[in-house]
Structure 1
Amino acid sequence: MEKVRPQFVLFGDSITQQSFRPGGWGAALANTYSRKVSSLSLPHQLADVIVRGYGGYNTRWALFLLNHLFSLSCTAPPAAVTIFFGANDAALLGRTSERQYVPLEEYKENLRKIVKHLKECSAMILVVLITPPPVDEQGRKEYARSVYGEKAMELPERTNDNTGAYARQCVELAKELHIPCIDLWSKMQETTGWQKKFLSDGLHLTEEGNAVVHEEVVQVLTDGHLRAEAMPYDFPHHSEIDSDHPEKAFEPKS
């Protein structure tokens, strides 16, 4: 049976954009699904992991990307897409990052529009919402001082409580739409010392924080019948190739 190599797209802000850095969750995901393929009878199975992360973006600006990244006329839509926004939407008015602020209700509706667009591309796409991670306010102030020195604002541009409100809206929408959601905001705070263990600057992820995201995404994919271990490799393992007659390993199986 013919093998296909669908795409798994990571769509989000800087936390997604940075996911292919050393120790990043996107790179780990690509490694987990390396060389994996599917038969045409299993269109959901995935192999290629593609990053579409845009640092500094909120959901309002992300809407302008949809037709460019996920064309409704595409004949081969992604098999699965993660939607990972909210850290910038939750910036506070009157603080240094207020231009990124999106009202809570609009944030939820923007996510709804993104999901709707993807489902219009293909009802078969596995759409996964991911909440923003928690915010270490002290870590954000320390980061600001390291960048701006004495000019840094004393008040953080984001708070954990406010970000939590956005995370809850993300979880609520997923329930309404009956799609999976990774509640990263809650999950990370289950670990003592999460502030420094999972966050590098009070907002972005450490290697350990990336590992949490990777583990959670793999679990969602596994629950959605996308278990990497159950998927075949794209071509024969080198141990199956006869050095005298290599062509036999590549002959179609009856």
Structure 2
Amino acid sequence: MATPNLFDNIVLFGDSITQGASGPGGLSQRLADAYTRKFDVLNRGFGGYNSEWGLTVFKQIFPTKAAQKQLPTVRLLTIWWGANDASIPGDVQHVDIEKYAENLHTTISFVTSPTSPYHSPSTRIILITPPPVNPKQRGTAPGHEPGSTWDTRNNAQTKAYAEAVKRVGNECDVPVVDAWALFWAYASENEENLTPLLSDGLHLTAEGYGMVYAELIRKLKETSPELLPEAVETLFPSWDKVDPNDIPPRKTS
């Protein structure tokens, strides 16, 4: 029996780039619009966190197998870490690249391994790479000191972490949205051309999120077309198909 009042959902898991995705034009906002009356979209972004801290958080925000019996299904999970992991060594947010890859493997296995307390065979996973950065842009953003830069971030470092995400995706047979490649191609491989996509050199604008959203939908079309917005039925019929004297119950899966 379906859980009353609750829809199956999409969970967005990651750092501040995910947290900021609920703003106007953000990834979460775009998905919520596309899946209105179909899936709920849950933003589980944690600004400043990295993949290591995310392991502890995951165990507190994703339902166990026992709890899943009483809850709606997580139909899609996006995992988007790396913007903080890729900070320079010595920075409090930094995670060694091999440990970062291991953390992604672990997060995926939480969902996919039959022996995991969080095993959810109905959940599809998509990894997202960290996008490139524009360190010089930090000082032009509201709230930052004019002339300041992201001195703990650089593109050589971030690119290596983006490549690590792709390796993990290949090893785990999990689709990857390559935000790095999308943004770098847009910028003609010049970080100063990233300004339309980044609000402060690190976090995304609506245009940047729009590019990630379009690629996410393309990946779903390739790998899980049954999850495309147009393929998912609304849980209640259109108003013009409703008998006012006999409101139908929600559809069940």
TM over 0.5: yes
| Aligned partner of residue 19 in structure 1, secondary structure | helix
Give the match's secondary structure for 1:81: strand
For the pair 1:181 / 2:176, whether they are aligned, the reply is: yes
Which of the numbers 12, 28, 31 marks the counterpart of 1:29? 31
- AA aligned to 1:204 is H
Uncovered stretches (5+) of structure 1, i.e. residues with no partner: 37-46
Any idea what SS the aligned residue of 2:215 has? Answer: helix
Aligned to 1:79: 75
CA 1:247–1:220 in structure 2 vs 1: closer, same or farther (change >3 Å)?
A: farther
Task: Using the TM superposition, give the Cα deviation of residue 88 of structure 1 relative to its aligned residue in structure 2, in angstroms.
Answer: 0.1
Please say if 1:18 is aligned against 2:20: yes
Classify the secondary structure of the residue corresponding to 2:41: strand
Tell me the alpha carbon deviations over residues 15-36 of structure 1, each in whole angstroms, 9 at most, x when there is no partner.
1111111111101101001112
Does the residue aligned with 1:198 lie in a helix, a strand or coil?
coil
Q: CA deviation at 1:142?
A: 4.4
Match of 1:114 in 2: 107
Deviation at 1:149, TM superposition (A): 5.2
Partner of 1:200: 199
Which amino acid in 2 is paired with 1:219?
Answer: R
Distance between the aligned counterparts of 1:84 and 1:218, measured in 2? 16
Aligned counterparts of 2:56 and 2:180: Cα–Cα separation in 1: 26
2:94 matched residue in structure 1: 101
Between the aligned partners of 2:110 and 2:168, the Cα distance in structure 1 is 15
Q: Which residue of 2 aligns with 1:88?
A: 84
1:110 to 1:235, Cα distance in 2 relative to 1, 3 A? same
Work out whether residues 140 and 156 of structure 1, in 8 Å CA contact, stay in contact via their aligned partners in 2. no
Whole-Å separation in 2 of the counterparts to 1:180 and 1:18: 22
CA offset at residue 143 of structure 1?
4.7
The normalised TM-score by structure 2 is 0.84
For residue 90 of structure 1, what is the amino acid of its counterpart? Answer: A
How far apart are 1:172 and its partner, in Å? 0.5
Deviation of residue 148 (structure 1)? 3.6
Instruction: Answer yes or no: is the 8 Å Cα contact 1:240–1:249 preserved in 2.
Output: no
Task: Note if contact 2:236-2:250 (Cα within 8 Å) is conserved in structure 1.
Answer: no
- The residue that corresponds to 2:126 in the other structure is 128
Q: What is the root-mean-square deviation of aligned Cα atoms in Å? A: 2.5
Residue number in structure 2 paired with 1:238: 239
Which of 10, 33, 52 is matched with 1:60 structurally? 52
- The one-letter code matched in structure 1 to 2:172 is L
Name the residue aligned to 2:144: 147
**2:161 is the alignment partner of 1:159:** no
Distance 2:14 2:197 in 1: 19
Alignment coverage as a number of residue pairs: 234
Encode CA deviations 1:14-64: one digit per residue, 9 max, x unaligned.
11111111111101101001112xxxxxxxxxx111110000000111111
Instruction: Give the corresponding residue for 1:217.
Output: 216
Q: Which structure: larger Rg? A: 1
Q: Look up the SS of the partner of 2:163 in the other structure.
A: helix
5+ residue gaps, structure 2:
none
Shift in Å, 1:79: 1.5
Q: SS of the residue aligned with 1:165?
A: helix
TM-score (norm 1): 0.84
Question: Which stretch of the first structure deviates more once superposed, 115-124 or 135-144?
Answer: 135-144
